[in-house]
């Protein structure tokens, strides 16, 4: 029987716009609150808001999210995506920046989780060095969250138009890290699970809307918001995706 030690939730790609603003005709604020209400019914150890919190770096978006999360009773954290600006985010969230980047390590029930900043469409060399140093120091298995997938995922639109730009460099840095087996990402607005070498890369669905991964052009597949549930145990992991209000 699978016994998990850590229970995580991931909400990605909120794309909150300005006050009263619809994004692609969707009320992204209502979408996020719908997901958050569902997540709040669970006893999560950590909730991760994994990037593209704002639609276009809007300070109003971060202010709205900060207010919404003020009532969340459990532990939570934020990451930056390519639609975010760390400098603006830092005015509304507790963040220790490294220049224009925000990357860090958290212990969740004693187990390590690393968070990177790919808001520049790259994972810069100093972050790659940091991950290697952390892996050597920790020795035990850790989870990694980064907004952009570190490999191609078979998403016809996103792989071709908006992939991680220094993917080869990132893969060279990560491929030899044996205590990194599970990588959680967002950005692709689609639930995906990809085998890359000895690792699993999971792309989360979006709180905004879901894209069709089989169409070379931009095509919305589903306007329902969704989130990822993660149960992590010793050398084992289970994950599932949930659409609030749907059976």
Least Cα distance to 144 among 105, 114, 117 occurs for: 114
In a domain, 190, yes or no: yes
Does residue 101 carry a pLDDT above 70?
A: yes
Total number of domains constituting the chain: 1
In a domain, 230, yes or no: yes
Q: For residue range 1-17, what is the model confidence (pLDDT) as tens digits?
A: 567 799 999 999 999 99
| Rounded Cα gap, residues 151 and 186, in angstroms | 12
Least Cα distance to 32 among 6, 64, 57, 70 occurs for: 64
In a domain, 247, yes or no: no
In a domain, 209, yes or no: yes
pTM above 0.85, yes or no: yes
Strand ranges inside the chain, DSSP E? 6-11, 46-50, 76-79, 104-108, 111-115, 142-145, 180-185, 192-196, 199-203, 210-211, 220-222, 227-233, 236-242
Share of the chain above pLDDT 70, in %: 98
Give residue 47's domain range: 6-242
In a domain, 204, yes or no: yes
Question: Exposed, middle or buried by CB within 10 Å (0-12, 13-18, 19+), for 123?
Answer: buried
Q: For residue range 187-224, what is the model confidence (pLDDT) as tens digits?
A: 999 999 999 999 999 999 999 999 999 999 999 999 99
In a domain, 36, yes or no: yes
Residue with tokens 């967002």: 186
Residue range 148-177: average pLDDT? 97
Least confident of 56-65, 98-107, 160-169: 98-107
Q: Where are the alpha helices (DSSP H) in the chain?
A: 28-39, 59-70, 86-89, 125-138, 156-161, 167-174
In a domain, 197, yes or no: yes
| Rounded Cα gap, residues 168 and 186, in angstroms | 19
Q: What is the DSSP letter of 210?
A: E
Q: For residue range 48-93, what is the model confidence (pLDDT) as tens digits?
A: 999 999 999 999 999 999 999 999 999 999 999 999 999 999 999 9
CATH number for the domain spanning 56: value is: 3.60.21.10
Q: What is the DSSP letter of 213?
A: T
Greatest alpha-carbon pair distance for the chain in Å reads: 48
| Rounded Cα gap, residues 211 and 219, in angstroms | 6
Q: For residue range 11-46, what is the model confidence (pLDDT) as tens digits?
A: 999 999 998 899 999 999 999 999 999 999 999 999
| Mean per-residue pLDDT over the chain, rounded | 95
| Rounded Cα gap, residues 52 and 12, in angstroms | 7
Alpha-carbon Rg for the chain, nearest whole angstrom, is 17
| Rounded Cα gap, residues 99 and 41, in angstroms | 37
Q: What are phi and psi of 217, to 5 degrees?
A: -95, 175
Q: For residue range 130-157, what is the model confidence (pLDDT) as tens digits?
A: 999 999 999 899 999 999 999 999 999 9
In a domain, 24, yes or no: yes
Does residue 247 carry a pLDDT above 50?
A: no
- Whole-number Cα distances in Å, 94 to 106, 109, 149: 14, 20, 25
């Amino acid at each position: 029987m699978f016994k998990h030690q850590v229970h995580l939730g991931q909400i990605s790609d909120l794309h909150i716009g300005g006050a009263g603003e619809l994004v692609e005709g969707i009320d992204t604020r209502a979408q996020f609150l719908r997901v958050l209400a569902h997540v709040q019914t669970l006893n999560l150890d950590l909730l991760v808001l994994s990037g593209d919190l704002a639609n276009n770096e809007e300070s109003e978006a971060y202010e709205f999210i900060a207010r919404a999360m003020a009532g969340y009773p459990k532990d939570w954290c934020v990451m930056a995506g390519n639609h975010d600006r760390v400098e603006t985010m830092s005015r509304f969230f507790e963040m220790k920046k490294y220049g224009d980047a925000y990357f860090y390590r958290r212990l969740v029930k004693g187990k390590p989780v690393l968070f990177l900043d790919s808001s520049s469409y790259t994972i810069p060399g100093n972050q790659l060095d940091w991950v290697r140093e952390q892996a050597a120091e920790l020795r035990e298995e850790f989870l990694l969250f980064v907004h952009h997938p570190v490999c191609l995922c078979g998403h016809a639109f996103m792989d071709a138009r908006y992939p991680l730009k220094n993917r080869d460099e990132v893969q060279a840095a990560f491929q030899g890290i044996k205590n990194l087996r599970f990588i959680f990402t967002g950005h692709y607005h689609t639930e995906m699970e990809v085998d890359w070498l000895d690792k699993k890369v999971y792309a989360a669905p979006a709180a905004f809307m879901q894209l069709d991964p089989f169409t070379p052009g931009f095509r919305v597949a589903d306007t329902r918001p969704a989130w990822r549930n993660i149960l992590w145990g010793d050398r084992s992991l289970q994950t599932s995706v949930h659409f609030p209000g749907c059976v």
